[in-house]
Amino acid sequence: MKTAAIYTRVSSDQQKENKTIDSQVDALLEFAKENGYVVPEEYIFKDEGYSGAILVRPGLEKVRDLSAEGQIQAVLVYSPDRLSRNYAYQVVLIDEFHSCGIEVMFVNSPKAETPEEALLLQFQGMIAEYERAMIKERSRRGKRFKAKSGNVSVMSGAPYGYKYIKKTDAAAAYYEINEQEASVVREIYRLYTDDFCSIGAVARALTAKQVPTKKGATIWERSTVWGILRNPAYCGKACFGKTEASPRQKVIKPLRAKGGYSSKNKCTKEKPREEWIELSVPAIVSQATFDIAQERLKSNKLHAQRNTVVLSLVQGMMVCSECGYALYRTATTTSAKNKIYYYRCFGSDDYRFEGGRKCTCKPIRQDYLDRIVWEQIVALLQDPTLIQREVEKRVAETKNTSPLLHQKASFEKQRGKAVQAMDKLLDAYQEGLIPIAQLRKRMPELQKRVNTIEKDLEQLKAHELALDQRLQLLDVASFTNQIDQNLHQLDIKEKKKILRLLVKEIIVGDDLIDIKHSIPLKEAENENNEKSYQLCTKSEKPIAFQHHFK
């Protein structure tokens, strides 16, 4: 008897659960027996969860290896679309098998012995490819239409902090806030935006407290915290169509270890923000808090130290006013073997661009610029009027965006529902709808719930009082005195933290350096706070400083 190999494939998890691949194997074994083929157990190949639109699949690779080695005389497949949904791939595979003297046989397709049968087989392949494209396009447009209509069902699930309530005959699907998880989300945003903790520090804090994740684990990964901080659903705007599949751009190290190819030859990339479709959901944090988190994520990405060995104060914050490129730090060695660092514009490097350099910006001594910028920041911090105005602003924002307000509103809502339930129970007893025994059984439970909520509200009031007392203790005079004593004793890391809190970016020009601050300055300062400094020993003209609020 002749030896054959069986190849089967399913592309979705639903097909796996329905065991359609086992039904394919049963039909193919019966087909092999009818046609006089023997199929060893090890020659039954299954590709579960692989799309028919890709050619590199583990099971299919093994079948092709067997055919090249001459170990089999036939390949049995249930239908042409199981071999591939791409007609061109079908032709390539069938031609490859035929060149090795291997017969390809389909259960639900006629054997292509005549031109008419070959034409029918080709039509089946083209129809399968057309059907796949139509299904994909209809599904995409259908989801997009539902998303534009505000239907949350296109999201298929809810992120941490929410419950996904499935649609019913009476109502559409929607998100419901899970208060236990929502309190964790608010804590994550508080640690990141108010306490300026790093993502790693937030993850370690949650792991130390044994807070369960969405899947019930107690170990929090940085990527999980990062995803929560970036998700716009928490400010009330769940977004559909944020990412799209694209071909893999490079072969990464784990992929090379697997032989250079993967079953998933695609990667996911983020689409432009204007292409996202927003869906209205209940908000867990305020829009202001979410915006602060996004600003800090962007800043951290820009100012990440990466492989920087020697830190400098303003590195990563400078932009060339002439070409718009960033300035990087470089070094040169003097004749006395002393190393001197400079800030140099990317656009001034001739070798980086095909048509030559983009601008004529001259290098600037790093130690001169760092010292002068720090002196400007110290002068601003020693201004009590500026500090007082900013403290008052931050106190108002802290009171308005405190998570205690959200918890208090939630507890008051729960208390109102419990009191309303007690009133309805008493009305039912007075109307004779329930007996006294049922009233005595249910009333203590409701009263106990009300008492628990009252205790939680009392604790929240104590926390609010403590917060007000801490805010009232902010004394601008003592703050400026401490600044005078401590600012000049800080190391480079602490100075960089202060600088990034106060400055958004520094625009460097030939004769002017513009510092864009994060806090508003007085108009008088903006008009008259210009000074000239010599930043390079060979420069012919001094560079002036200018401050303004961005």
Q: Are 360 and 322 in contact (CB under 8 A)?
A: yes
Sequence letter at residue 340: I
Residue with tokens 């009133």: 423
Residue 202: per-residue pLDDT: 92
Look up residue 179 and give its two tokens: 């208060």
CA dist 154 and 404 (Å) reads: 33
Candidates 3.90.1750.20, 3.20.20.140, 3.40.50.10490, 1.10.4160.10; CATH matching 155-165+172-241+276-302: 3.90.1750.20
Residue 523: per-residue pLDDT: 45
Residue with tokens 């944090």: 285
Per-residue pLDDT of the chain (550 residues; tens, 9 = 90+): 788 999 998 876 555 555 678 888 888 998 888 888 999 888 999 888 787 777 778 888 888 888 888 888 999 998 887 888 777 777 778 888 888 888 888 887 655 556 655 666 666 666 666 666 677 767 777 888 888 888 888 887 889 999 988 888 777 888 889 999 999 999 999 999 888 888 989 999 999 999 999 888 889 999 999 999 999 999 988 888 888 777 665 555 565 555 555 555 567 778 888 888 888 888 999 888 898 898 888 877 766 666 566 778 888 788 888 888 888 888 888 888 888 888 899 888 888 887 888 888 888 888 888 888 888 888 777 776 766 676 666 666 665 655 556 667 777 888 888 888 888 888 888 888 888 888 888 888 888 888 888 887 887 777 667 666 655 545 555 556 666 666 667 788 788 877 877 788 888 887 778 888 766 665 434 444 455 555 554 445 555 656 665 5
CA dist 433 and 520 (Å) reads: 66
Residue 228: per-residue pLDDT: 93
Q: Are 518 and 503 in contact (CB under 8 A)?
A: yes
Would you give the distance in Å from CA 536 to the centre of its chain? 43
Helix axes 476-486 and 384-401, enclosed angle (nearest 10):
120
Q: What's the pTM value of the predicted model, to 2 decimals?
A: 0.49
- For 284-316, letters b (16+ CB in 10 Å) and e give bbbeebbebbeebeebeeeeeeeeeeeebbbbb
Q: How far is CA 362 from CA 192, 243, 382, in A?
A: 38, 41, 32
Each domain of the chain, given as residue ranges in start order, spans 2-144, 155-165+172-241+276-302
Q: Are 277 and 242 in contact (CB under 8 A)?
A: no
Residue 17: per-residue pLDDT: 52
Look up residue 40 and give its two tokens: 């060893």
Candidates 3.40.50.1390, 3.40.50.300, 3.40.50.850, 3.30.1340.30; CATH matching 2-144: 3.40.50.1390
CA dist 326 and 159 (Å) reads: 37
Residue 528: per-residue pLDDT: 45
CA dist 111 and 120 (Å) reads: 10
